[in-house]
Amino acid sequence: MATNSKSFLADKIIVCEDDPVLRSNISAVLELEGYHVYEASNGLEAKQLLIAKRVSLVVSDWAMPVMDGIELLKFVKSDPRLSHLPFIFLTAKTTIDDKLMALGLMADDYITKPFSLHELVFKCRNNIENRKQVIIANLVNNVESKFDSRDQKFLNQIKAFIDKNIANDELALSDFAAEFPMSISSIQKNIKRICGQSLFKLIIDMRLQKAKNMIEADAAPISEVLYHCGFNNHNHFTKKFKDKFGVLPSKLNKGEKSS
């Protein structure tokens, strides 16, 4: 298995490929991009890693001994703990029927050999970042998630705590440490790893979204909305609101809403 001395915050990728030279080359390139890579020579090894490790994406060959890529894909997409993971096929199978079979089984991407390592890096990055954006949107906009992962459960708990204290302008990091059975450092690291943003930024975004919703619903005057959402300075609130939504709160209240 490849190792990586980079930060705990690095996204983790499983590379499942029975050709040791190709597997090593792919892993080396991904690690240079800042990812932590776990290597597997067949689907069974990858399955065991998926059970034991928390990863962000799977890159897999199709034709492999012991367990092939199709069986691995079926395992990933049928397990509610894993089904949200992006799955990229990297295979010598080039027929349209093969590709349609894989996509029909919920593969997220399909790359045929020979391939460009640059293309693979871009597709890994895009799939991981797009999935993070889905998680952030679900969290901030209070949309029900279509998957139930450990990360999502953790984010839901953080979200509920922020919602409960959204009017508290003195909400501090120490309050999170007192609420959750982990250190504030661990909480911050997990939020950064999952969402790609700090806990502080997440709190601000949720406050601003709440304020936007209240203003659009004309629930209260703006001077009251900002205090309901944990802001104690009108100028600071206005600047943050304009930076995020591209419009002043007063303009939004008059119906001049951002697109």
Helices 69-78 and 43-52: crossing angle in degrees, nearest 10, is: 30
Place 62 in a pLDDT band, splitting at 50, 70 and 90.
very high
Q: What pLDDT does 57 receive?
A: 95
Lowest mean per-residue pLDDT among 78-92, 127-141, 234-248: 127-141
Place 61 in a pLDDT band, splitting at 50, 70 and 90.
very high
Place 123 in a pLDDT band, splitting at 50, 70 and 90.
very high
Q: How many other C-beta atoms are found inside a 10 Å radius of the C-beta of residue 27? A: 23
Q: What pLDDT does 189 receive?
A: 85
Domain-located, residue 63:
yes
**Residues 20 and 123 reside in one and the same domain:** yes
Per-residue HEC secondary structure of the chain comes to CCCCCCCCCCCEEEEECCCHHHHHHHHHHHHHCCCEEEEECCHHHHHHHHHHCCCCEEEECCCCCCCCHHHHHHHHHHCCCCCCCCEEEEECCCCHHHHHHHHHCCCCEEEECCCCHHHHHHHHHHHHHHHHHHHHHHHHCCCCCCCCCHHHHHHHHHHHHHHHCCCCCCCCHHHHHHHCCCCHHHHHHHHHHHHCCCHHHHHHHHHHHHHHHHHHCCCCCHHHHHHHCCCCCHHHHHHHHHHHHCCCHHHHHCCCCCC
Task: Give mean pLDDT, residues 196-200.
Answer: 86
Task: List pLDDT tens digits, range 214-257.
Answer: 888 788 889 899 999 999 999 999 999 988 888 898 887 554 44
Last residue of a domain, one of 103, 130, 157: 130
CATH number at residue 92: 3.40.50.2300
Place 7 in a pLDDT band, splitting at 50, 70 and 90.
very low
- pTM reported for the whole predicted model: 0.54
Q: How many other C-beta atoms are found inside a 10 Å radius of the C-beta of residue 123? A: 20
Task: Give mean pLDDT, residues 121-149.
Answer: 72
Give me the number of domains the chain comprises: 2
pLDDT of 147 strictly over 50: no
Residue-number span of the structural domain to which 27 is assigned: 12-130
Q: Which of 17, 18, 56, 21 is nearest to 36 (CA)?
A: 56
Computed over its alpha carbons, how large is the radius of gyration of the chain?
22
**Residues 190 and 240 reside in one and the same domain:** yes
